[in-house]
Chains A and B, each alone.
Chain A
Amino acid sequence: MPAVATTRDGPDAPGGAGMSARRGRPRGTPLQRRQARTAWLLAVPFLLLFAAFTAGPVFASLFMSFTDMRSTDLRTPLNVELAGLDNYTQLFSDPLFRKVAVNTAIFVVVGVPLTMVLALAAAVGLNGIQRLRGFFRLGYYLPVVTSIVAVAVVWRFLLQPDTGPINQLLGVVGIDGPDWLGSTSLALPSLIVMAAWRNLGTLMVIFLAGLQTVPREMLEAAEVDGAGRWQRFRYVTLPLLRPTLLFGAVITGIGYLQFFEEPYVMTRGGPLNSTRSVSFYIYDHFGFGNYGYAAAASYVLFVAIVVLTALQFRLLRPKT
């Protein structure tokens, strides 16, 4: 699997003084042998299920991407022509693919930081209160569990051009609100905000867990040293949170590069394909039965995900 390339940038071991010390030792001490044995033992369930359920389908679909397979070949999947890189070249010459790639890039570049910041703010805020803690946490998690149909109805209502609350608010300050979802330039930004709203609950839960690894003593010590709230957050909490932040960034990046549900329920990719994403494009082509072509598009998306993840690993690498 080409994914191994990403690990070149790992492992991001923060606070791991012990780790680098161990790495210096020669191989083969009893401790190291014991560690290796234990590690492989712990890896068995994943590796077994990976071999059984992931490896085969990945190879099969990768192979599919180099053929002209269509859904009409379903009963005779080997009875297809090798197409070499045809699917890939055709993909990049499709103007619609280029458009959805740009849409997706915008979605990721704006959406990931936005969601991260909002989720971190929510997690920090919720971690700092005592009363009604469970209530507030559930409140911020609700969008994650709410039926997408209800989400769509309410968001369409909020974004309604004439009667929607958002435009009415804008009207109060004298701005004539636009038709958010009907405009080719505003529909995508609207969906980005909606996606951030919908996904910040998941990240918030992850960050809440990460915040528990920050030892109180360190914060107290920093306070004794005269550090203010922001400084304590910036210089104590944030560095210790780095593994969790990296996880959040990677997961959100992977999710947003594959964003699909929001345009699917809100705009069906319109107006004029301005909210169509790469995943939507792939979904369509699988639906059309163009299996080889859709598989090729999937692996292009995969490469984009690998690159983004590698970048994030580099960006959030511990500073030494």
Chain B
Amino acid sequence: MSRQMTAVAALAATALALTACGRDDEGSDGEAAPAEEISEGPATGNIEVWAMGTEGEGLGAFLAGFEEENPDVTVEVTPVPWEGAHDRIATAIAAGETPDVSLIGTTWMGEFAETGGLEPTPTDLFSEDDFFPGPWASTVVDGTSYGVPWYVETRALFYRTDLAQQAGLEPPTTWDDLKTFAQGLQQAGAQQGIYLQPGQGGSWQTFMPFAWQNGATLTDGDAYTLDSPEMIEALEYYTSYFTEGLSQNTVLQPGALEQMFADGTIGSFISGPWHIGLVRDAGATDNFDVVPLPGRDEAPGASFVGGGNLAVFTDSDNKDGAWKLIEYLTQVEVQQSWYEAITDLPSMPAAWEDGPLTEDELVATFGEQLEHTEAPPAVPTWEQVASVIDTDIEAAVRGTMSAADAVADMQSQASSIGTGLQ
């Protein structure tokens, strides 16, 4: 027995000795190499694309136009489930078995770019000015852009028009308004004036807009700056909705929100465009509206922006074609017809100015909100810091920590985690 143990230990020691080479300080992985030159003329060759969910399902047929314009190209789209997509891209990068292009969730950018697995965006082909600023910021890691925003989503305020009318209230434009608004909806018959997520996964997406509206920031570019008076004040404001009984302090189960909104139990909530369909399915048709988030002192207030970026992998052997495909997908008309195909919201302001995006008022509201959005910092450790924020929000909402303590805890944990940039 012990002989075997010794052998195992010896083997392990050898393995350690052999591989002890250490990180080189040059930071070759993270460093931005200049983007490759993109050739003139049409795209050629084979382009492999991964896209998640409905994007993956619709994209193949949608690209007929691109293939027509570029007769020598073949595009192979592989749909990938959202569930597990992060792992699939991570393992593919690790093994060097990536496609040429992939849809990448905005919050993954920092991590994947820092592996060195993503190509820098060719700046001659794409201009920052063509895109909404929040979404573009999600592609920029340590000063270099590693992809292009494809579609976006942002959060706005859903409310019951019948209850607001009954209470004699206009949609809110300031924090004070919002509080009065929630109280009014409650007096008009709702059990909860507003539902704000009281903690757990993703609650930072509901809370951070309030912090941003108050002037708080997440980083100064190099380090986390969570413990500001603005952040504390925003968290105090957020938790007041729970202490004043305007929002429940336990998380709703999936499906409950739409239903409680439709039957008037919940008067308002903050969410993204996908909730339009869900709310209608649940039975609320003509009695609700969506407005941009209120600001601290005046509208409009900043909101969270998410969505999907398109990136080209370093291990791609057809980068030229890959970038041309992305260029095609970020043309204004193509973005508009992509919206018509699967209702993905365009990442470019120009696409919202005319055509299909102006036709639906509720959708147009999200276009308005997109002018005022913030993206979380594109750093590799963001997901971890986000989960710290989620936990501390929950503690503050439940009253086990004061807002000031919660914010201090966010900061101390976040700074020990670091940004992960080298």
Contact = CB atoms under 8 A, between A and B. Distances in A.
B5 interface: yes
Interface stretch (B13-21, B267-275, B290-298): B13-21
B413 to A, nearest CB: 10
Interface in B74-93: 86, 90, 93
A66 interface: yes
B323 to A, nearest CB: 21
B20 A82 contact: yes
Contact of B115 (A1, A75, A271): A75
Interface in B97-124: 111, 114-117
A288 B94 contact: no
Contacts of A156: 253
Contacts of A73: 29, 115
Nearest to A287: B383
Given A59-B15, A73-B115, A287-B86, A182 B250 contact: yes
A289 B384 CA distance: 9
A68 B11 CA distance: 21
A177 to B, nearest CB: 15
B30 to A, nearest CB: 7
A71 B12 contact: no
B179 interface: no
A75 B94 CA distance: 5
Nearest to A285: B384
A80 B23 contact: yes
A70 B199 CA distance: 27
B61 interface: no
Interface string B186-206: 000000000000011100000
Given A4-B4, A75-B117, A79-B24, A179 B111 contact: no
B94 A272 contact: no
Nearest to A288: B384
A272 B394 CA distance: 7
B15 A63 contact: yes
Majority DSSP secondary structure for residues of A touching B: loop
Contact of B29 (A68, A72, A82): A72
Contacts of B21: 78-79
Given A66-B16, A82-B16, A268-B200, A2 B5 contact: yes
Contact of B12 (A62, A72, A77): A62
B4 to A, nearest CB: 6
A76 interface: yes
Interface string A6-24: 0110000000000000000
A210 to B, nearest CB: 29
Contacts of B381: 288-289
B225 interface: no
A135 B96 CA distance: 50
A72 to B, nearest CB: 4
B420 interface: yes
A272 B395 contact: yes
A59 B1 contact: no
Given A75-B93, A271-B250, A59 B384 contact: no
Contacts, number: 106
A273 interface: yes
Nearest to A269: B200
B280 interface: no
Interface in A245-276: 268-273
B380 interface: yes
Given A75-B116, A77-B94, A63 B16 contact: yes
Nearest to B30: A72
B22 A71 contact: no
Contact of B114 (A8, A62, A72, A153): A72
A141 B94 CA distance: 39
Interface in B217-247: none
Interface string A177-190: 00100100000000
A223 interface: no
A71 B400 CA distance: 34
Contact of A79 (B29, B90, B251, B398): B29
Interface in A1-49: 1-2, 4-5, 7-8
Contacts of B383: 287-289
A71 B29 contact: no
Contacts of B30: 72
A148 to B, nearest CB: 12
B404 to A, nearest CB: 18
A82 B16 CA distance: 9
Interface in A69-97: 70-82
A289 to B, nearest CB: 5
Contact of A179 (B199, B200, B250): B250
Contact of B111 (A1, A7, A71): A71
Interface in B147-205: 199-201
Contact of B1 (A8, A63, A68, A72): A8
B201 A268 contact: yes
A284 interface: yes
Interface string B257-272: 0000000000000000
Given A179-B250, A288-B381, A72 B86 contact: no
A290 interface: yes
A161 to B, nearest CB: 9
Top 8 A-B pairs ranked by shortest CB distance?
A288-B384, A72-B114, A74-B94, A182-B250, A268-B200, A74-B115, A72-B380, A72-B115
Given A63-B15, A73-B115, 10 more contacts: A8-B1, A59-B15, A63-B19, A72-B380, A74-B93, A76-B29, A270-B251, A271-B250, A272-B398, A272-B400
